[in-house]
Amino acid sequence: MEIINQDSLVAPGDLNEAPISMTTTEGNLTGSWKFFSPCLQEKVSPCRTACPIQNNIAEYMYFLNQGEKDRALEILRESNPLPAITGRVCPRFCQQECNRLQLDQGVLIGSVERFLGDYGLKIPYPAPEKKRSERVAVVGSGPAGLAAAYFLARAGIQVTVYEKEAEPGGLLRWGIPEYRLPKDVLRQELDNLINSFNIGLECRQDMTSEKIEALSSDYQAVFCAPGLGASILPREFAGYDRVRQGLDLLYDLQQGRIPEGRRFAVIGGGNVAVDAARSLLRYGKEVEIIYRRTYAEMPAYPDEKRHLSEEGIPVQEQSLVTDITPHKGALRLSVSQAVKSEQGIVPGPVGSEQEVDVLVLAVGQTEHLRIEPKERLFVGGDLQLGASSVVEAMATGRQGATAILQQLDPEQEAPELPAPEPAAVNLTYVPRKKPLLLRETALEERVSGFVETDPGFSEDEAQLAAARCLSCGKCTACGLCWFFCPDVSIALETEADPPGVTIDSEHCKGCGLCAFVCPRGVIRMEED
């Protein structure tokens, strides 16, 4: 025992006074206590899973956020040879699955893609690593054909594309109005792609089934994506000069052939119907849409429908045209209320009459060529899928190219696409950000010409949009696990390429905090 009094001076701050170990604790391998271990495993982001061509969005956004625009473009081009186009016309399946929708506002992926795509318009693609002797023909230069040509050419194959029209692009060129896809962007994108890979282009080649058969003996393989060139024309509408097919009309408008007449009615609810109606409005026509179901049920893309309404084009919902009669150089339409019955949608008892100068039918397309896939002959695009989106058509092009490459070289393993394992994100520690507003061209300017409805993002805006992306499923070395680890068992490797973390398994006690807090779902606890 010792008597404590005021004279018992103890040096303040003496280590002996504080309950601190005298030696390092590093030798105490606490890692032996654990029965669960954190494992780093990058996952596939839900946006990528939703994308028909599986664009590696998390990755290119990450590099864009690091200020590496060229690397971002390179990653985007891995899966998408037409980003300036899809950035404009894709219905953006990706954005609907964005994890950030649960937090504040989803990432405007399409707008960032468009920015990157426009940036890449003048940047040639790198030459393929090796040249191959095989030659492959592609029929049709729409999105499916171009995608197939790209993936084949990138593998070193010599590709020749056969196109019916005078210029390449297919539906992209004559089916999509300029206010959605300017011809100048289309030309630059296609020129860059075709020139970079020296893809052969044979235009004005009206292919028949026989000619395609013949190609398959000249080439090692043929990828055939001629689209759906014929329109569905119900019998009751056949034989009238003033009844036009939607796609034909769009084609004529692209060629500068504007139909006469003032009053137009468009039957249909899909993208062709909306494109036709909005285009006619821009030529000063009075136009309305007649659709057999409700406005909400119209299958056109939501943005297109919104623009249609904004531009003041009326939609006569749940209406059926039952009869047409020529009347003084115009058409008199008998319109009935559409009623749902067991036989489908049928005309109801209530009816009215109205007069139009031209009736446009946009009720679907069908094939103009019958082609059965066989050895060395592959089919893709709308001919395979039915009318579908640009990006879905591109996906068939990639699949076709992959199948052809495998047939040419059965030894070669098919490039494996990542398994769609969704990244379980934790948004708790992600700071909310102010939502971004999409600018749109003023209504007046829009309807008086073919200026783009969506003016796109400036570089600054695109960077802001990209900065909202978490890069789900990818370790960005954000440091949250490092911050939370109670055992100082995580080291941040910010300078590594790619940056990441390393786990000191000798001291990690397996508490699982890192796996729990990881905003990107990259760490998983596995039983030892």
Name the site residues for other proteins (rule: CB under 8 A). Answer: 2, 4-6, 8-10, 12-21, 23-26, 488
Distance in angstroms (rounded) separating the CA atoms of residues 380 and 365: 16
Least distance in Å: CB of 25 to other proteins?
A: 5
Q: Is 159 exposed, middle or buried (0-12, 13-18, 19+ CB in 10 A)?
A: buried
Count of other CB atoms within 10 angstroms of residue 440: 15
Tokens representing 216 are 């398959």
Least distance in Å: CB of 9 to other proteins?
A: 6
Nearer to other proteins, 13 or 329 (CB): 13
Nearer to other proteins, 19 or 349 (CB): 19
Rounded to 10 degrees, the C-alpha dihedral 249/253/254/257 comes to 110
Least distance in Å: CB of 500 to other proteins?
A: 19
Sequence-ordered list of residues with C-beta below 8 angstroms from that of 65, at least 6 positions apart, any chain? 463, 466, 467, 469, 471
Nearer to other proteins, 25 or 217 (CB): 25
Nearer to other proteins, 19 or 329 (CB): 19
Least distance in Å: CB of 496 to other proteins?
A: 19
Least distance in Å: CB of 517 to other proteins?
A: 16
Q: Is 496 exposed, middle or buried (0-12, 13-18, 19+ CB in 10 A)?
A: exposed
Least distance in Å: CB of 20 to other proteins?
A: 5
Is residue 24 helix, strand or coil?
A: coil
Nearer to other proteins, 17 or 459 (CB): 17
Nearer to other proteins, 11 or 166 (CB): 11
User: What backbone torsions phi and psi does residue 208 show, to the nearest 5 degrees?
Assistant: -120, 170
DSSP string, 311-364: TT--EE-SEEEEEEEEETTEEEEEEEEEEEETTEEEEEEEEEEEEESEEEE-S-
Rg of the chain in Å (alpha carbons)? 30
Nearer to other proteins, 15 or 238 (CB): 15
Nearer to other proteins, 24 or 343 (CB): 24
Least distance in Å: CB of 28 to other proteins?
A: 8
Least distance in Å: CB of 507 to other proteins?
A: 9
Distance in angstroms (rounded) separating the CA atoms of residues 404 and 158: 13
